[in-house]
Structure 1
């Protein structure tokens, strides 16, 4: 082999090695709220933890990329994605028609109904429909009948919701004129006001309420009301990506599908929620 050919092969080998290393060390930055336990929260020492933090690590491993999860306030999370401050969102974000107008979604990787958090000593603890489940997409009449039944007890009460969420949209449509709806920046804030007696109930995702109920200070509270999904509550929780990021969306879709099929999503669901939120169908 002549010297020129040897040098050429060496250069080619170096280029291929650099390319391979680059592919293996690609970093995807994922934003989460860091204040929505047990989906995502800030633990000891400021470390991000929760169902979505664990799932993000699993999905990134399947996609053969490095995963960096960062905290971002909820009310600016979509604008910051479109401003390219990060590549994706995993923050308990439900897939809704309104959000799909400005971003795309991969998934869903989870699905959970809403519910009310109330004190066991409150008249609201006897809210009708507790233990029942309805879909606004496939059982709209029955679901709205159950919602109307709850409004009898909610009349004149104050209900806390996190702003700019499917739950604030739900409250705006179904509770306006019945209860006073008070919006909060985070779920932690409305939980604190409920514990202090400043509001009568919290309307939130049932899984978030389950996480709250595990705290010692909420031992005298309960999750009540019918479990409502679908309609304006969206089609499950997914990964938000910028419109046009088709390859990233496909990679997340493939990884999510694999994580559902091999039971990883179920395992992480049981770890963090004590119930299985794996999307059905």
Structure 2
């Protein structure tokens, strides 16, 4: 099913959580109504993640969610005196779920785009990276022109899919709901290449007989951010204010270096510092 058609369909139905687990965060949350416009009206922020998006979000051996985004949201909710409930869901259903008010936030290295801002809003960015075409080691694919007539896997409703649709005419795009299924298709030869986020591509290259053919970056890159409901401006302002504090006091660096081990933290810190300075309002992004 095409990405836009899938999103339109999911907006009209109640979505089913395919994987769920809880991650405890803030101790000491009160039972009184929260000032942050949370969906259940109390002191628990309900977060959705894609459960196969390591190192940003994944399920560990104990059935608990972990990763960079989970740790970052745990720290944010702790500082806001909130509890955190984490559930896993297929990536292409995450944003529609936020849009219809069934959860407060989502985070799995999700890019902030104009198209997505039509139904949800975003925090200040938390990460920026590249997108990489991953192929078998014996593949002759080395740049975008080699993709013509080839089958390339993309994750449904992802920024990568949008980029591929706009830039790779003549390429047969094959849509997958999760990265594991896409990588399995690459291994079995069902597709010629797979278009992953850079972190995921690095992970597969380190573990399997594949290579990165080339990488790409969107021209309008705002980085990845925390997805939030449009009807929760107070939550967005509080999250943005807390993100600034976490970056300034060194907590961001500690979280990043614990969970993202394939790249230096300074590149991210420089990007975020420059971006935060250029967008001084915690109301960003205003609709």
Give TM class, smaller chain: 0.7 to 0.9
Per the alignment, residue 237 of structure 1 pairs with 224
Task: Tell me if structure 2 keeps the 8 A contact 1:109–1:260.
Answer: no
Q: CA offset at residue 23 of structure 1?
A: 7.1
1:81-113: per-residue Cα shift (whole Å, max 9, x none)? 233222111122110001111111111111111
- Aligned residue for 1:229, secondary structure, equals coil
Per the alignment, residue 221 of structure 1 pairs with 210
TM-score by length of 1: 0.76
Task: Tell me if structure 1 keeps the 8 A contact 2:46–2:103.
Answer: yes
Task: Tell me if structure 2 keeps the 8 A contact 1:36–1:188.
Answer: no
CA distance in 2, matches of 1:37, 1:20: 32
Task: Tell me if structure 2 keeps the 8 A contact 1:206–1:223.
Answer: no
Q: CA offset at residue 268 of structure 1?
A: 2.6
CA distance in 1, matches of 2:230, 2:215: 35
CA distance in 2, matches of 1:21, 1:163: 38
Q: Give the 5 Å matches for 1:43-82.
A: 43-82=60-99
**What residue ranges of structure 2 are gaps of 5+ in the alignment?**
1-28, 35-41, 275-287
Higher relative contact order (CA 8 A, sep 6+): 1
- Aligned residue for 1:106, secondary structure, equals strand
- Aligned residue for 1:67, secondary structure, equals strand
- Aligned residue for 1:230, secondary structure, equals coil
Change (3 A) 1:171 1:209: same
Per the alignment, residue 90 of structure 1 pairs with 107
CA distance in 2, matches of 1:96, 1:227: 16
Per the alignment, residue 168 of structure 1 pairs with 161
- Aligned residue for 1:176, secondary structure, equals coil
**What residue ranges of structure 1 are gaps of 5+ in the alignment?**
1-18, 128-149
RMSD, aligned CA: 2.2
Q: CA offset at residue 55 of structure 1?
A: 1.1
CA distance in 2, matches of 1:254, 1:156: 47
Q: Which moved more, 1:38-47 or 1:242-251?
A: 38-47
Greater C-alpha radius of gyration: 1
- Give 1 or 2: higher helix fraction: 1
Per the alignment, residue 201 of structure 2 pairs with 209
Q: Give the 5 Å matches for 1:177-216.
A: 177=170, 179-214=171-206, 216=207
Q: CA offset at residue 155 of structure 1?
A: 2.5
